Structure 1
């Protein structure tokens, strides 16, 4: 006999505002205990020194985590000048110092070099994998890592405040961008060294600061409301994927993993009415106004790649 899974099956997204000093895994554990949730995961690690948006998926929403991870992010962060650290943030060991300090004009002149498509080397202490090992594990063991540059995209980069010893920035960027690398590289170019001393994530896609909730607020709220009244729906991160309402017959076929073919003029018109055309790659199938499945489109065929059990 199969063992019963521990916890309650709860489905949806929590737009969590992670506090300072807590790891993303610890935040996940706290949510699990508050809800007694059966299954959950987060969409993008925040370091303990970072605060801000940590989207947490519960139940069937975990099948959509990759779509949240692919979304653009917005950060507000502070760079302290005069010190390089091995982690590129304030938690690391000081490895170089400088008495030089940049002027505000120097900093502003540098911003265009970090905007658009740029190549950056991830920090030595990062979660990327090298030959199957996490970089931070190798770095902690004392290895000097040869990490190759990666192409990332920065959509917006602005200076908010500047003093002789530090500067505050806001950054809008695509997937895979390391704020710590930007701080390190700016310090090197300015000839004064630099590392991240404070970091807050303001947004991950449509998870924003003004709709987020703290752990303490969340715990109080679930004491007086059902979890589904507190959580965002499973399809929250799928809002850029065209949705198509399915007939009862199509719902049954999708649940059996069968491919749907749209051959008639009526079928084509039905797809076109929801914005589905030859450029469409994914379609969100809806059944009874609930997300049923993600379908991959190949010509006239739609076949299930993720089916939601809601």
Structure 2
């Protein structure tokens, strides 16, 4: 059972809780999630099973889309609704000022990772230090906000959709928006709408997965591993080239079709996905295909 499962994570569970639950009902050990979703958040959580776990590193790099509610005027130590309130201020900003402040975050911006996060420093996760009352200096990271679509502003509550690069903390974005408006703020709720090519519309609840596992139809809900690389060019190999490729040998490529250092989806002549390949030039300048990562 090798593939990717589009799970609808419920609020109140950690991403690891979801993995542990699925290991139990699917009777599989080789399962892993593709990027932590806050325990209080819900939404899309792609889960890799079997050989698809080799693709986790590629899935975590994908862009995400979230729907969030920002509550202005109330700051918490965790930057979300589950933390302790540390400050309250009157919201004096107008509707237009709120809109301008939110939209000003579109594009690249330097974001300081929150203390309540799974980032490790000197072997310790930041949230472990935070729970012990320790705050350490963190290095800001460049993230990219592709878009922010404001859906509703009602008083000091704002609902918006945001598309962003990997590593973006939406609760920190909410806190930063509040700081820019001079009143503070925190993330009241969060739903992940999309992660790479996986979206909320097709996500399965844990109850649905449990029922399919009981009926023995689990494999039907798995997405093929190669969907992770759908934006790459593909190539199919005949039996001879396939054997050479899988044994670590170079396979010659047609001139003009590919470029050096290009990643390519590799299939056998029956259409079965084999690997992610990479193009390399030999000493004579001829372009060849070699294995980058096998998925069989």
TM score, norm. by length of structure 1: 0.89
Once the two structures are TM-superposed, the CA of residue 34 in structure 1 deviates from its matched residue by 1.8
Aligned to 1:45: 36
Which segment drifts farther, 131-140 or 33-42? 131-140
Once the two structures are TM-superposed, the CA of residue 194 in structure 1 deviates from its matched residue by 0.4
Using a 3 Å threshold, how does the CA distance of structure 1 residues 17 and 307 change in structure 2: closer, same or farther? same
Q: Is the CA contact (8 Å cut-off) linking 2:265 and 2:276 kept in structure 1?
A: yes
**In 2, distance between residues paired with 1:24 and 1:112?**
30
Q: What residue ranges of structure 1 are gaps of 5+ in the alignment?
A: 1-9
Which segment drifts farther, 73-82 or 222-231? 222-231
Aligned to 1:260: 250
What do residues 18-50 of structure 1 show as CA deviations (whole Å, max 9, x unaligned)?
111111111111211221123010111111110
Q: Is the CA contact (8 Å cut-off) linking 1:222 and 1:230 kept in structure 2?
A: no
Once the two structures are TM-superposed, the CA of residue 110 in structure 1 deviates from its matched residue by 1.1
Q: What residue ranges of structure 2 are gaps of 5+ in the alignment?
A: 282-286
**In 2, distance between residues paired with 1:131 and 1:143?**
13
Q: Is residue 2:148 matched to residue 1:172?
A: no
Aligned to 1:137: 128
Once the two structures are TM-superposed, the CA of residue 277 in structure 1 deviates from its matched residue by 2.6
Q: Is the CA contact (8 Å cut-off) linking 2:3 and 2:50 kept in structure 1?
A: yes
Q: Is residue 2:273 matched to residue 1:283?
A: no
SS at match of 2:293: strand
Matched residue count: 290
SS at match of 2:254: helix
Q: Alpha carbon RMSD of aligned pairs, Å?
A: 1.6
**In 1, distance between residues paired with 2:93 and 2:108?**
25
**In 1, distance between residues paired with 2:78 and 2:53?**
30
After the TM superposition, list the runs of 4 or more consecutive aligned residues in structure 1 that deviate by more than 6 angstroms: none
**In 1, distance between residues paired with 2:218 and 2:180?**
49
Q: Is the CA contact (8 Å cut-off) linking 2:46 and 2:198 kept in structure 1?
A: yes
Once the two structures are TM-superposed, the CA of residue 112 in structure 1 deviates from its matched residue by 3.0
Aligned to 2:284: none
Q: Is the CA contact (8 Å cut-off) linking 1:296 and 1:302 kept in structure 2?
A: yes
